[in-house]
């Protein structure tokens, strides 16, 4: 399958976001990747093929500081990456949308749906790392590294997913507190599909269970995969994503 050449969207914040877009209808699917992932990832490219086969519109893109987009990763926060998502929604898409968010992208997808309730008609969240700066990383990093980050402003942690280390900044944690979702109801009334591996050691599946409990309305479904980890990129796991997306689009399409 041939892929469209990346284009650039200049945002009001001075960033240039790299994206690939395929036209179609009656909905457009937008893929939101994970931290330090990009639009060339397995899930992003796989879903492009799914959407083309179905005739749906599709957009995959890089957050600022990621992939081919401009910006410094160190300066990224939940709010700035959410701003990237909203720029893509507002300037590159029309009509009803279904957002597919992976890991960090799952958190951003829920936030974007709350920010654009008239546009976002369905969500698929894959191992969504909702509130990870508050509920996951402090215990994973431990007191010493958290103290080092407070003192130095950032820490670097090796990643098993990419060659570069994860860079966690104090600003990421501090600003993340403005976007927490799991302390109260998530007021969305739309179809939501959640997919999570039960052997996910990065984002435990209780996060998705908590999201299910916090969603205030709408058609919601959680699929737990017994042997799956965080990547959700094996052929069988990609087929599970396809099935879940088809179900959500069917319910969300006008």
Give catalytic residues, as residue numbers: 103, 200, 230
Read out DSSP for 34-70? -TT--TTSHHHHHHHHHHHHHT-EEEEE--TTSTTS-
Please answer whether residues 1 and 52 qualify as being in contact, where contact means their C-beta atoms are separated by less than 8 angstroms: yes
Q: What's the 3-state SS for 8-26?
A: EEECCCCCEEEEEEECCCC
Strand locations in 128-244, DSSP E? 154-157, 166-169, 192-197, 220-225
- Rounded distance, CA 54 to CA 252, Å? 15
């Amino acid at each position: 399958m041939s892929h469209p050449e990346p284009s650039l969207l200049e945002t009001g914040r001075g960033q240039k976001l790299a994206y690939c877009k395929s036209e179609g209808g009656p909905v457009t699917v937008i893929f939101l990747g994970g931290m330090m992932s990009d639009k060339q990832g397995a899930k992003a490219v796989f879903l492009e093929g799914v959407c083309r086969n179905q005739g749906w519109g599709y957009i995959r893109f890089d957050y600022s500081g990621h992939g081919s987009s401009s910006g410094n990763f160190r300066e990224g926060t939940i709010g700035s990456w959410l701003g990237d998502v909203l720029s893509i929604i507002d300037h590159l898409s029309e009509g009803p949308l279904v957002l597919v968010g992976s890991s960090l992208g799952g958190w951003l997808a829920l936030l974007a749906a709350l920010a654009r309730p008239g546009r976002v008609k369905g969500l698929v969240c894959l191992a969504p790392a909702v509130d990870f700066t508050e509920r996951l990383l402090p215990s994973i990093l431990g007191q010493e590294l958290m103290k080092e980050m407070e003192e130095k402003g950032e820490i670097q942690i090796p990643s098993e997913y990419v060659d570069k280390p994860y860079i966690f900044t104090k600003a990421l944690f501090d600003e993340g507190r403005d976007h927490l979702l799991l302390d109260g109801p998530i007021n969305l009334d739309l179809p939501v599909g959640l997919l999570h591996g039960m052997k996910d050691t990065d984002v435990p599946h209780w996060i998705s269970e908590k999201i299910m409990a916090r969603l205030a309305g709408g058609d919601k479904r959680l699929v737990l995969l017994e042997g799956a980890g965080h990547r959700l990129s094996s052929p069988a796991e990609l087929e599970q994503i396809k099935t879940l997306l088809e179900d959500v689009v069917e319910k969300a399409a006008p």
